[in-house]
A = this chain, B = another copy of it.
């Protein structure tokens, strides 16, 4: 529960002018569509029902009360999150939640906790990579929380490059044990969520040493703490890695292993395995299968990015509809005869910053949907031995992970800044959200590195089309590349502003640009210059970005053509078309240099795009509050004085202020005095 209040604010004082609630009510009446209908279209009825039930349950649970979080230091935040994770585990059991419901509850609580990796990577890995006996031994107690696990791959000196890991697992045939060992300081496992203070077990990725020969990495289940005493087991040095920019509530940890022996049984053995008697390594039958899981993880990242955009723009739009600043000299407004300041949301410079985020939320939404569909297709394809879709899906998912996480992080900050000074208060709800989201850009493959996987596929595809134009099987990528090669000098078919109304025009344009960039990079790599891969990383990054944007424009555009549910609801379809146009014009003019330098558009067409983007901002303006309402983000999740559904911004900021525990002390500012508070209990130096 929030502390305080430590100060009493005169209750007769109200904010000046039209109240926040009234302003939002006025905005909500402007909508041309039904908010609830849009919410159901976006999220589905069952999601909304489940969310309502969960919010009811969670928001009334005293253990899960969030309003004190902003005032807590790191240790208290961790303590809160541990209590929360224990409570969620009990609730999940009591209510028989399936995994999706448990995840939804976790999302709503919105504070990464010590059991996060236990519930995701630890359990998933045991489930997917453990034999039946291993599942029985480890997965079952894990599901009952009798053991708490983590997933220890990253090392102090080694992140994305799994081949660079230093931790070794040397097989001792005489005892049929693996000896796990950290030979150096940089071999220490590092950043491992839940390891620092919580886990009893770790899945350790270590390089196999068999008969004195170093092999590749393999996962082992290693007991690290005594579940009863909580003491570190012999040979293990474990701790929390210290405070981070976000994720304060999680105990990311380190682990040094000093010749720790585990039985042969603890090497996960469902796919690759080591023969106990012969010490022979048996490789997995089909390495491609792991790509399936990866696609699913990345589809989730894209969906999460869409949710990030929705949440941040919801705060910015609602607050900017309430906040007023400066009078508009060209067209002054009045209230009760007095001149009033303009709603910040009416400034075109504010619109130009946050409405693209609004449109992008829908854009990412459709691509997340597409990724899940692809995942399903892949799964059934693999079941039937068809791996044809796999490479394309994997490549696209890498590029999308990079693009959407970078843009989502940027969008939170864009929205925070649009909230002006109050955006900097923790009460905005955007600061801790930003800091907790930020690692997404770096983990699961650093976004700037990861995009190379996309470009590598794009280069390969371009090469095979070059070798045999009709050879490669049709796909999104192959299609736009073939179209480009048929007519590399193609020009955008835009003469008047009205020509921009056709989504196909944008789909073609983004495909052309992506293909152009790939051909250009390929020429530098394979042509006379024979440039090294490293010297081309910037060009390759551009290829991946262009490909990902093309895919997003394609999915958004095709939804407008083909999405049956959307097309059956004209009011939704109309606003969605406007959002598409805003998104496409915005991105195309943002990337204008590439479109112009490829010769695809002229300066005049570039100006038309800019003009249309601004026109669409004005069109979206009256719908903005209703659109963010349709994202259906409950106040419990939003946790924002600025973005709250009822618009009581200023009252809520005051409430946040008077509860700060700093207000409970009278401080001693006398520079001659050696104490820091008026009671004289806080000495001057050292903490």
Contacts and interface: CB of A to CB of B under 8 A. Distances in A.
A63 interface: yes
A426 B190 CA distance: 14
A330 B200 CA distance: 43
A13 interface: yes
Given A73-B76, A347-B534, A86 B659 contact: no
Contacts of A176: none
A606 interface: yes
Contacts of A660: 74, 239-243
Q: In the complex, which of the residues A63, A86, A420 has the most CB atoms of chain B within 10 Å of its own CB atom?
A: A86
A329 B421 CA distance: 49
B10 A669 contact: no
Nearest to A598: B603
Contact of A348 (B156, B417, B538, B656): B538
A427 interface: yes
Given A230-B667, A326-B160, A424-B438, A14 B662 contact: no
A140 interface: no
A651 B186 CA distance: 9
Interface stretch (A104-112, A378-386, A589-597): A589-597
Contacts of A420: 159-160, 442, 446
B13 A687 contact: no
User: Most chain-B Cβ atoms within 10 A of its Cβ — which of A10, A62, A242, A533?
Assistant: A242
Contacts of A197: 662-663, 665-667
B184 A13 contact: yes
A265 interface: no
Interface in A181-220: 182-188, 190-191, 196-198, 200
B662 A240 contact: yes
Given A14-B185, A597-B592, A654-B185, A667 B424 contact: no
Contacts of A663: 196-197, 239-240
A244 to B, nearest CB: 5
A161 B230 CA distance: 58
The residue in A324, A676, A686, A687 that gathers the most chain B C-beta atoms within 10 A of its C-beta is A687
A47 interface: no
Interface residues of A, number: 156
Contacts of A331: 532, 534
A137 interface: no
Nearest to A432: B245
A349 interface: yes
A243 B74 contact: no
A113 to B, nearest CB: 11
A251 B657 CA distance: 11
A685 B83 contact: yes
A92 to B, nearest CB: 10
B79 A687 contact: yes
Interface in A115-144: 115
A609 to B, nearest CB: 10
Contacts of A441: 417
A231 B666 CA distance: 8
A240 B71 contact: no
Nearest to A71: B243
Contacts of A342: 534
Interface string A528-568: 00001111111001000000000000000000000000000
A244 B426 CA distance: 5
B668 A230 contact: yes
Nearest to A258: B10
8 contacts: A16-B183, A16-B185, A74-B661, A86-B673, A86-B684, A115-B669, A328-B534, A597-B606
Given A197-B666, A349-B537, 14 more contacts: A15-B186, A71-B242, A86-B671, A164-B326, A196-B663, A197-B665, A230-B667, A241-B653, A241-B656, A245-B424, A328-B532, A349-B541, A420-B442, A538-B614
The 9 nearest A-B residue pairs measured at CB: A73-B73, A592-B593, A245-B431, A349-B537, A597-B603, A242-B660, A13-B185, A330-B532, A16-B184
